[in-house]
Structures are given as structure tokens and as C-alpha cells.
Amino acid sequence: MTQLESLEFWFTEPVRSHWFSSTPELDREIHTLYELAGLSTNLQFARHHREIIRRFGRFPHRNAILARQNTREELDWLNSKEAFTG
């Protein structure tokens, strides 16, 4: 679920009518939607990490803390907008 989809969900009439008086059914629906959104986010990060490992064989953003030398390709990637720095 994207941020926009989340906002749209909260402002649909069926949900708005229960903002201050939820039902067990609505609570289950909300719980299910947010579980799926969390799984989707986790899957996205897992795929991103897998691609980094496929490309470099390691996590370049951890080289400094592990006292490893960066390759030229790793340095170029680390200085790009696509780099993962966490």
C-alpha cells in the first residue's frame, strides 16, 4: 500500500463513518491492510539488498566500518543517488 493509497483508504466514506466508532470487522480490515503494506515494504528492501549483493558481492556501505577498501565501482555507487547508506 502506497502512502497515497493509505490516505485514500482513510478518507473513503465507509472508513470515515467509523473514525470514532470502529467495528471489529473494520479493525480486522485495517490490520490486514497494514500487515500487507509492511510485508510489501520488507520485500522491497530485501530485493534492494539482494541486488546490492549481486552487483558487488558485499555491502559497500559497510566497507568503512569493516576496514575494507572500496573498489572504483563501489565508490561511484556510494556517491550516487541510488546508494544505500543505512
Q: How does pLDDT run across 23-78, given as a tens digit for each residue?
A: 899 899 888 888 887 888 888 889 989 999 999 999 999 999 999 999 999 999 99
Q: How does pLDDT run across 1-24, given as a tens digit for each residue?
A: 677 888 888 888 888 888 888 889
Q: 40 in a domain, yes or no?
A: yes
pTM over 0.75: no
Q: 76 in a domain, yes or no?
A: no
**Apex CA 35: angle with CA 33 and CA 39, to 5°?**
115
Q: 18 in a domain, yes or no?
A: yes
C-alpha torsion sign, points 49, 50, 56, 57? positive
Q: Which domain holds residue 13?
A: 3-57
